[in-house]
Chains A and B, each alone.
Chain A
Amino acid sequence: MSVVVTTPVPTPTTSAPARRPKVRTERLSARASNAGLQVAVIALTLAWTVPTLGLLINSFRSGGAFNTSGWWTALAPPFKFTLDSYRHVLGASDLAPSFFNSFMITIPATIIPTAIAAFAAYAFSWMKFWGRDWIFLALVGLLAVPLQLTFIPLLTLAVHFGLTSGNTLPLGLNAGFLAIWIAHTGYGLPFSIYLLANFFRVLPQDLFESAEIDGAGPVTVFFRLILPLSVPAIASLVIFQFLWVWNDLLVALIYIGGTPEVAPLTVTLTNLVGSLGQNIQYLTAAAFVSMIVPLIVFFALQRYFVRGILAGSVKG
């Protein structure tokens, strides 16, 4: 990120950051603690990975095999792996359209709440207005509203305004998509505003003062200062909102339905398994097929989680 900011440096002016690990490894006790640290990190990571690893390995075994022996037995010879589950999942005729539907639902349902939350969080953290703190708290409190209770009143509204998947809006947009974007925006906003306001609030004040002196309006400050300085926070928010919407099943079924022309991936993949739970092995492969996109998003945004964006950008 190279952001040009024409303001004085607010952070303590030390020399360019030295490479920390070098300093640390010079000390013996530090080396011992470093070993302990590595063990802790690796142990925790392993513990967190084993459940998913089990699923991954079972997705390459036949359904009958993982009912009679544990996934770890597949790691010893004879290696009886099969791509059957993947062949079945990828061969499902509705898969490609539902991939598209998932994007069609998830991308706007991520962009809209993130942008609207960023607008609001900016006002909540850097503007003064009547009832600000209380409105903010009420928003946080709304995180506790159980979504199930909103379904009937909101779907009634959607039906009233014709926002159901049977209707078509201008430009050929299925009206159900608009309904689900708005719903996901509403469900996602409390957390998004809460998270972003927290990050915006701790940005150094003198930055804003000097910007104002330079005559920058709030729009300029927002796009030129707030957004670039909060990249890690925004990146993590985008990831979460994307994941929640991508993995959502219930909200999709309520607002847009499970018919093939609008059904997202979660609906299609759940339907690979029989209504009584037959052929559960297909879900093992389906889990990894549906994970691909969220993981790509995570890896793509992970590069924004770097130290010193604040200091670095200010130095320009």
Chain B
Amino acid sequence: MGRLTRLLAAMAIVVLGVTACGSSTTSSGQIGGTVHVLGTWSGAEKDSFDAVMKPFTDQTGVKISFEATRDLGPILQTKIAAGNPPDITAAPGIGTLIQLARAGKVVALDDKLDMSQLNANYGADWINLGKVDGKLVTLYAWAALKGLVWYDPKAFQAKGYQVPKTWDDLMALQTRIKSDGGKPWCVAMENQAASGWPGTDWVKEIVLSQSGPTVYDKWWQGKQKWTSSEIKQAWTTWGSILGPGDSNVYGGSQYMIATTFGDGGQGLFSSPPKCYMFNQGSFITSFFDGYTPKPVAGTDYAVFPLPDVNSSNAGAHVLAGDAFVMTKDTPQARAMLKYLATAQAQDIWVKRGGGKIAINKQVSLSDYPDPISKSLAQVVVDTKIGRYDAGDLMPSDMQSAYWSAALKFAQNQSQLDSILADLDKKQVTAYASP
């Protein structure tokens, strides 16, 4: 490739950087070429990704060559180790990425993106989240909200139940549902090789809301022992949700560990309801859509955020999302990352539903397709203490041990001390540098 072509390409990026950030689209943004992207999306999510990328390809002429795999970690590690990385990688396990960043296998983005634009459009938390050792390596493209309690408003109305505003309300509601002969909760944790994660969601949501962001950060960074009183308290608080011998949960421990998480909401919609509440992230609506008969958002299901456990941490929410890293520095890859950060791109994501919430502040609340997704976006806007999913931030073998621990705890809550002691042992090896 000649020097001239490279110069032209660089100029094109400058032009694109301007056009993508809101000014009128010009046809001089042509770069051409291809970006090789490695990601996990398939099915409807892949269709959404294609829809998001279409204007980019139209504007720049850059084709997207997308490779999907559900074994992203192994495939990415192998490709990087062998010197054959993709250009852009969608990063599910940040723990792995921290290791890759320290090994210099991902490209620092500080001088590749337009940082002033990014600072203007992104909350500082979302930018800091993408930093490893002070360098920006990860760009978040959209968020998903965790710690949401789904319920059937008709069922609540029939029994005269109110949406709980405080943790005490929630505890009182649990007791009342039980005394009415119902089961407060459905919990489903089966997800093949990743089984257990829905249980760990409970614990991390409680840690953040109960003990605050400082403990939460120390915890995922491996500086807070699992046996410490704060973390142990979070587990016992989850135990008070599950009830003694899992008596608050429909089907008990057998149901919890053997039911696919996506099926877990079915109990809400049977009549009479098998359970009244179901805690799951915003993406669960894509599973609700597959139920028979298909429940209608707003009519058959509604949602409230899990109440604050400790009022001094009011407005704390666990967030997740999809992030991108640049594993090979090409003009096309830079252009693509810049595009993904724009309101134009994120607007397409949220309009297509699937529980995705834009991070770019320029995306208007009125763009969300239904009242539920709009209210979730509002929760994200109102979030005072936002923290990323702790499990995803841990090294991946710490994360899998955490998943397994949730399964063990659900089966026998009295084993908590030995479960936490095992996690402490794992913490020592998992955080040792690779």
Interface positions of A (Cβ within 8 A of B): 62-65, 67-68, 148, 151-152, 155-156, 158-160, 164, 250, 253-254, 257-261, 263, 267, 270-279, 281-282
Contacts and interface: CB of A to CB of B under 8 A. Distances in A.
A278 B290 contact: yes
Given A64-B290, A277-B260, A159 B82 contact: yes
Given A67-B291, A253-B71, A272-B42, A159 B83 contact: yes
18 contacts: A64-B291, A67-B292, A152-B78, A152-B82, A155-B82, A159-B82, A160-B83, A253-B69, A258-B67, A259-B66, A272-B43, A274-B41, A274-B43, A275-B41, A275-B42, A276-B286, A278-B43, A279-B44
A155 B68 CA distance: 19
Given A270-B42, A279-B290, A257 B82 contact: no
Interface in B250-304: 260, 262-263, 266, 283, 286-287, 290-294
A275 B40 contact: yes
A162 to B, nearest CB: 11
**From A160, A250, A281, residue with most partner B Cβ within 10 Å:** A250
Interface residues of B, number: 37
Interface in B64-80: 65-71, 74-75, 78-79
Contact of B294 (A64, A151, A158, A277): A64
Interface string B66-104: 111111001100110111100000000000000000000
B71 A250 contact: yes
Contacts, number: 101
Given A250-B71, A277-B260, A271 B81 contact: no
A130 B260 CA distance: 58
B290 A67 contact: yes
A122 B26 CA distance: 68
Given A159-B84, A278-B287, 9 more contacts: A67-B263, A155-B79, A156-B83, A159-B83, A253-B67, A267-B69, A271-B43, A274-B41, A276-B283
Interface of B: 36, 40-46, 65-71, 74-75, 78-79, 81-84, 191-192, 260, 262-263, 266, 283, 286-287, 290-294
Contacts of A160: 83
Contact of B67 (A62, A257, A276): A257
Q: Interface on chain B toward A: helix, strand, loop, or mixed SS?
A: mixed
Contacts of A277: 191-192, 260, 262
Most chain A CB inside 10 Å of its own CB: which residue of B36, B83, B260? B83
Instruction: Find the residue from A62, A273, A275 having the highest chain B CB count within 10 A.
Output: A275
B292 A65 contact: yes
B71 A64 contact: no
A64 B292 contact: yes
Contact of B70 (A151, A263, A275, A282): A275
Nearest to A261: B65
Contact of A278 (B71, B79, B82, B262): B262
Among A151, A276, A281, max chain B CB count under 10 A is at: A276
A120 to B, nearest CB: 29
Contacts of A274: 41-45, 286
A273 B290 contact: no
Contacts of B192: 277
Contacts of B40: 275
B69 A258 contact: yes
